[in-house]
Structure 1
Amino acid sequence: MTQPLDQICIVMIQTSHPGNIGSAARAMKTMGIHDLRLVNPTRFHSPETKALASGADDILEQARLCSSLQAALADCHYVIGTSARSERSLPWPQMDARECGQWVAEHLPQQKIALVFGRERTGLTNEELEHCQALVHIPMAFDFFSLNIAAAIQIICYECMMATRQIQASKPPEVTSAKGLEEPATTAAMESFFIHLEQALVEVEYLDPDNPRLLMRRLRRLFGRINPTQSEVNILRGILSAFQGRKFIRRSSADQINVRNT
């Protein structure tokens, strides 16, 4: 039987120190989370990784190695990125660790939720943040902003576990059932939609590909807040296809007029 925490996955991007992967696996297992996904780690299979896992070998053995963040997130419905900065030029929905745990618990097990952790020194890039619907940060002492990535994973996983336990204990079984609820669209489906949307916006000359500014990034934020279902994404893509078809017809008609006038 699937447990709510089985719907959480931890994604680590380009981890440079193999010991951090082992420590992260240990942190996950103590909190009952088992789905680890590694995007292009510098080193993975090393004695230090296994030593610091301290018995969480099953998580390391089942860890999914991915060549891109998109591949790691393909089956997820909601993506939360970790960030040490609470302010950015283009705002994302912000949560602290406790708020994140509460949000995750309230949406389990209906959604597959990814918690994404960036590089030890530089975190997530702006391009990687575009795949996140929200950001989470861990409040720290104002004179010391340094937290080991495995420790950060431990804190976030702990908050998710505690909030989930509280919610499960307070709800009758029929309330926690996900039957009859439509799942949100997966990240893979949303990425296909964004490609289609950008293509359509370029075709109707609303988006200048040579000077896109932040339009697509803002649209990602918009649809990230909406968190549409798969059927809603299908409707949106159907609308885009209809607009593209009409544009083609209009151009064809204009070409016919030009031919008649020559």
Structure 2
Amino acid sequence: MHKPALPSSFDLPARDYVRVVLVETSHSGNIGAVARAMKNMGLGNLWLVSPRSFPDETSYARAAGASDVLDRARVVATLDEAIADCVLVMGTSARGRKVPWPVMSPTDAAQQVGDYQERGEVALVFGRENNGLSNDELQRCHVHIHIPSNPDYGSLNVAMAVQVLCYEVRMQYLRGLENSENNPQLKAINSPEDAGWDVPAATVAELDGFFGHLEATLADIEFHRRDNPRQLMTRLRRLFQRARPDQMEINILRGVLSAVQKTATDRGETTAGASQQDQQDV
């Protein structure tokens, strides 16, 4: 039995106006993998041109929860049937045709897909696993899409190629949303100053408390000499301020320092007169 569909989350308006067309797919598992790739990126309009075997359990098993995409897939006999009512047809192809044809990168193709959202359906056409689209089929496409893969190993599985194109379509959609610059799906999370971090950034006072604790600990273990400090604490301050630690990280570091001080004291290694800093619980 195939896995039931996961809850549908086709959140792109493109779920219907972007049509993914597979031509004469030999392995039904690839159809399932394509369905999964499409649903990952919020698309759900799949057309199959004369597949060798569909539907079958292999395709549903490979869909891994995207069986709803397969359930609504259209099967037709020819490419002409699959693209007849589309206003733009884009076919994946390698470069090097005798007669040059308009060729786009996946990113540029996705931009053009977005431009057609109000005009009608757009078909993204993918060829056979072994030899892609024929010359006649490529001539039915307004534009060719070239995925710039490694020239020494450029063959992509059809599901991989679909994933690349669907990802670019999704990114184009997300960037086009209102207030896209604040979209958490597009923003990096690198430090406590970024939305989505789990703990607030350490304050200046908390950092200063840590640096005092660090200096005292290094003196306790005779790594740092206050009478000849050189640039040690300056460089350590630069290091930790560059890391921009959060409050929990500072507490953890101070807990480590406390453990080091206790071990040094237990071993009788604490230098005379070394100042102890206030401890913070981790």
Whether TM exceeds 0.5 here: the answer is yes
Q: Report the secondary structure of 2:91's partner residue.
A: strand
1:111 to 87, 100, 120: 120
Aligned counterparts of 1:95 and 1:101: Cα–Cα separation in 2: 9
1:165 to 160, 165, 174: 174
Question: What per-residue deviation string (whole Å, max 9, x for no partner) do you get for residues 113-159 of structure 1?
Answer: 00000100110111111210000011111221121100110110000
- Contact 2:12/2:42, CA 8 A, preserved across alignment: no
Percent of aligned pairs with the same amino acid: 42
What amino acid is the match of 1:122? N
Aligned counterparts of 1:7 and 1:113: Cα–Cα separation in 2: 6
Task: Name the residue aligned to 1:64.
Answer: 74
For CA contacts below 8 A with separation 6 or more, give which structure has more relative contact order: 1
Task: Name the residue aligned to 1:137.
Answer: 146
Aligned counterparts of 1:165 and 1:159: Cα–Cα separation in 2: 10
> Please, which runs of 5 or more residues in structure 1 have no aligned partner?
172-262
Deviation, 1:2, is 8.5
Aligned counterparts of 1:71 and 1:156: Cα–Cα separation in 2: 22
What amino acid is the match of 1:23? A
1:100 to 84, 89, 109: 109
Call closer, same or farther: CA 1:156–1:9 in 2, change over 3 Å.
Answer: same
- Contact 1:93/1:135, CA 8 A, preserved across alignment: yes
Q: Does 2:134 match 1:125?
A: yes
Deviation, 1:107, is 2.2
Aligned counterparts of 1:16 and 1:153: Cα–Cα separation in 2: 16
Q: Report the secondary structure of 2:119's partner residue.
A: coil
- Contact 2:32/2:70, CA 8 A, preserved across alignment: yes
Task: Name the residue aligned to 2:34.
Answer: 24
Task: Name the residue aligned to 2:252.
Answer: none
TM-score for both structures, normalised by structure 1: 0.62
Aligned counterparts of 2:104 and 2:173: Cα–Cα separation in 1: 17
Aligned counterparts of 1:64 and 1:133: Cα–Cα separation in 2: 22
Q: Which protein has the larger Cα radius of gyration, Structure 1 or Structure 2?
A: 2
Aligned counterparts of 1:9 and 1:79: Cα–Cα separation in 2: 9
Aligned counterparts of 2:179 and 2:131: Cα–Cα separation in 1: 40
Deviation, 1:170, is 6.0
> Please, which runs of 5 or more residues in structure 2 have no aligned partner?
1-10, 181-282
Aligned counterparts of 2:168 and 2:67: Cα–Cα separation in 1: 23
Question: What per-residue deviation string (whole Å, max 9, x for no partner) do you get for residues 185-206 of structure 1?
Answer: xxxxxxxxxxxxxxxxxxxxxx
Q: Report the secondary structure of 1:11's partner residue.
A: strand
Q: How many residues align?
A: 170
Question: What per-residue deviation string (whole Å, max 9, x for no partner) do you get for residues 211-234 of structure 1?
Answer: xxxxxxxxxxxxxxxxxxxxxxxx
Q: Which has the higher helix share?
A: 1
Call closer, same or farther: CA 1:167–1:14 in 2, change over 3 Å.
Answer: same
Task: Name the residue aligned to 1:76.
Answer: 86
Call closer, same or farther: CA 1:144–1:47 in 2, change over 3 Å.
Answer: same
Aligned counterparts of 2:127 and 2:178: Cα–Cα separation in 1: 33
Task: Name the residue aligned to 2:14.
Answer: 4
Call closer, same or farther: CA 1:4–1:146 in 2, change over 3 Å.
Answer: closer
Aligned counterparts of 1:86 and 1:69: Cα–Cα separation in 2: 21
- Contact 2:14/2:43, CA 8 A, preserved across alignment: no
For 1:102-251, what aligned pairs fall within 5 Å after superposition?
102-169=111-178
Question: What per-residue deviation string (whole Å, max 9, x for no partner) do you get for residues 41-78 of structure 1?
Answer: 01112221111101111111110000111111111100
Aligned counterparts of 1:62 and 1:167: Cα–Cα separation in 2: 27
TM-score for both structures, normalised by structure 2: 0.58
